[in-house]
Structure 1
Amino acid sequence: MTEQPRRILRALLSVSDKSGLVEFARELARHGVELVSTGGTKAALAAAGLAVRDVADLTGFPEMMDGRIKTLHPKVHGGLLAIRDNAEHAGAMAQHGIAPIDLLVVNLYPFEATVAKGAPFDECIENIDIGGPAMVRAAAKNHADVTVVVEAQDYAAVLAEMDAHAGATTLALRKKLAAKAYGRTAAYDAAISGWFAETLKEPTPDYRALGGKLIQTMRYGENPHQVAAFYRSPEVRFGVATARQVQGKQLSYNNINDTDAAFECVAEFDPKRTAACAIIKHANPCGVAEADTLVEAYRKALICDQDSAYGGIVAVNRTLDAEAARMITGIFTEVIIAPDATDEAIEIVRAKKNLRLMLAGGLPDPRAPGVTMRTVAGGFLMQSRDNAVVDDLEFKVVSKRAPTAAELADLKFAFRVAKHVKSNAVVYVRDRATVGVGAGQMSRVDSAAIAVRKAEAAARFLDLPEPLTKGSVVASDAFYPFPDALLVSIRAGATAVVQPGGSIRDEEVIKAADDHDVAMVLTGVRHFRH
Structure 2
Amino acid sequence: MEDMKSKYRTVMDDHFPDTMKIIFGDQQLEYRKQTWKIPDSSGDLVEKGLRYGENPGQEAALYELVSGNLLLGDCKFIEPGGGLVSAITEKEMLQAGKHPGKTNLTDVDNALNILKFLMATPACSIMKHNNPSGVAIDTRLAAAYHKADVADRIAAFGGAAVFNRPVDKETAQLVAANYLEVVAAPDYEEGIVEILAKRKNLRIMTVPRMDRLHDYVSRRFVEFKSLMDGGIIVQQSAVNAIRSSKDLIPARTTYKGTDYTIERPPTQRELDDMVFGWAVEQGVTSNSVLYVKDGCTVGIGTGEQDRVGVAEIAVFKAYVKYRDRLCFERHGVPYNEMADANIRAELDAETNEHKAGLTGSVMVSDAFFPFRDGVDVGIRQGVSAIVHPGGSDRDFESIEACNQANPKVTMMFTNQRAFKH
Normalising by structure 2, what TM-score? 0.75
Give the match for residue 372 of structure 1: 223
Structure 1 Cα separation of the partners of residues 137 and 99 of structure 2: 29
Structure 2 Cα separation of the partners of residues 314 and 346 of structure 1: 14
Give the match for residue 256 of structure 1: 105
Structure 1: tracts of 5 or more residues without a match: 1-175, 194-204
| 1:220 lines up with 2:52 in the alignment | yes
Q: CA RMSD in A?
A: 2.0
Structure 2 Cα separation of the partners of residues 274 and 481 of structure 1: 34
| 1:211 lines up with 2:30 in the alignment | yes
CA positional deviation for 1:343: 2.3
| 1:306 lines up with 2:125 in the alignment | no
Q: Pick closer, same or farther for the CA change 1:208–1:447 going to 2, 3 Å.
A: farther
Aligned 8 A contact 2:117 2:243 in 1:
no
Give the match for residue 86 of structure 2: 241
CA positional deviation for 1:223: 1.5
Aligned 8 A contact 1:249 1:354 in 2:
yes
CA positional deviation for 1:208: 6.8
Query: Share of identical aligned residues, percent?
Result: 36
Deviation readout 1:256-308 (Å, 9 max, x if unpaired): 121211222222202xx310000111101110000011100011111211100
| 1:342 lines up with 2:231 in the alignment | no
Q: What amino acid maps onto 2:101 in structure 1? A: S
Q: What amino acid maps onto 2:94 in structure 1? A: V
Give the match for residue 250 of structure 2: 397
Aligned 8 A contact 2:51 2:99 in 1:
no
Q: Which residue of the other structure, out of 373, 385, 388, is the alignment partner of 1:484?
A: 373
Give the match for residue 415 of structure 1: 278
Structure 1 Cα separation of the partners of residues 84 and 241 of structure 2: 18
Q: Alignment partner of 1:279: what SS?
A: strand
Q: Pick closer, same or farther for the CA change 1:208–1:506 going to 2, 3 Å.
A: farther
Aligned 8 A contact 1:498 1:520 in 2:
yes
Q: Which residue of the other structure, out of 292, 295, 302, is the alignment partner of 1:432?
A: 295
Q: Pick closer, same or farther for the CA change 1:237–1:474 going to 2, 3 Å.
A: farther
Structure 2 Cα separation of the partners of residues 305 and 478 of structure 1: 24
Structure 1 Cα separation of the partners of residues 269 and 83 of structure 2: 32
Structure 1 Cα separation of the partners of residues 209 and 144 of structure 2: 19
For 1:122-521, what aligned pairs fall within 5 Å after superposition? 187=21, 190=22, 206=25, 209-216=28-35, 217-234=49-66, 235-243=80-88, 244-247=92-95, 248-270=97-119, 273-363=120-210, 364=213, 365-376=216-227, 377-391=229-243, 394-398=247-251, 399-463=262-326, 465=351, 466=354, 467-516=356-405, 517-521=408-412
CA positional deviation for 1:361: 2.7
Greater fraction of residues in helix: 1
Q: Alignment partner of 1:229: what SS?
A: coil
Structure 2 Cα separation of the partners of residues 418 and 491 of structure 1: 22
The count of residues paired between Structure 1 and Structure 2 equals 333
Give the match for residue 10 of structure 2: none
Structure 1 Cα separation of the partners of residues 222 and 392 of structure 2: 28
Greater fraction of residues in strand: 2
Structure 2 Cα separation of the partners of residues 246 and 489 of structure 1: 43
Aligned 8 A contact 2:127 2:161 in 1:
yes
Q: What amino acid maps onto 1:382 in structure 2? A: V
Q: Alignment partner of 2:357: what SS?
A: coil
Deviation readout 1:413-458 (Å, 9 max, x if unpaired): 1111112110011110111100100000111112111111111112
| 1:529 lines up with 2:417 in the alignment | no
Structure 2 Cα separation of the partners of residues 472 and 485 of structure 1: 15
Structure 2 Cα separation of the partners of residues 219 and 343 of structure 1: 30
Q: What amino acid maps onto 1:345 in structure 2? A: I
Identify the structure with bigger relative contact order (alpha carbons < 8 Å, sequence gap 6+): 2
Spell out structure 1 runs of 4+ moving beyond 2 A. 205-211, 216-220, 234-239, 361-364, 462-465
CA positional deviation for 1:459: 2.2
Q: Pick closer, same or farther for the CA change 1:445–1:210 going to 2, 3 Å.
A: farther
Q: Alignment partner of 2:184: what SS?
A: strand
Q: Pick closer, same or farther for the CA change 1:233–1:431 going to 2, 3 Å.
A: same
Q: Alignment partner of 1:264: what SS?
A: helix
Structure 1 Cα separation of the partners of residues 238 and 157 of structure 2: 29
Normalising by structure 1, what TM-score? 0.60
Q: Alignment partner of 1:501: what SS?
A: coil
Structure 2 Cα separation of the partners of residues 414 and 210 of structure 1: 35
Give the match for residue 81 of structure 1: none
Structure 1 Cα separation of the partners of residues 60 and 220 of structure 2: 27
Q: Pick closer, same or farther for the CA change 1:238–1:299 going to 2, 3 Å.
A: farther
Deviation readout 1:159-191 (Å, 9 max, x if unpaired): xxxxxxxxxxxxxxxxx9xx97xx75x63xx5x
Give the match for residue 338 of structure 2: none
Structure 1 Cα separation of the partners of residues 275 and 218 of structure 2: 16
Q: What amino acid maps onto 2:234 in structure 1? A: M
Structure 2 Cα separation of the partners of residues 481 and 236 of structure 1: 43
Q: Which protein has the larger Cα radius of gyration, Structure 1 or Structure 2?
A: 1
Q: What amino acid maps onto 1:231 in structure 2? A: Y
Structure 2 Cα separation of the partners of residues 344 and 394 of structure 1: 42
Aligned 8 A contact 1:238 1:360 in 2:
no
Structure 2 Cα separation of the partners of residues 339 and 452 of structure 1: 34
Q: Alignment partner of 1:211: what SS?
A: strand
Q: Alignment partner of 2:93: what SS?
A: strand
Deviation readout 1:221-251 (Å, 9 max, x if unpaired): 1122211121112343352112311102111
Give the match for residue 160 of structure 1: none
Deviation readout 1:297-347 (Å, 9 max, x if unpaired): 011111211100000111111111121111112110000111111122111
Give the match for residue 59 of structure 1: none
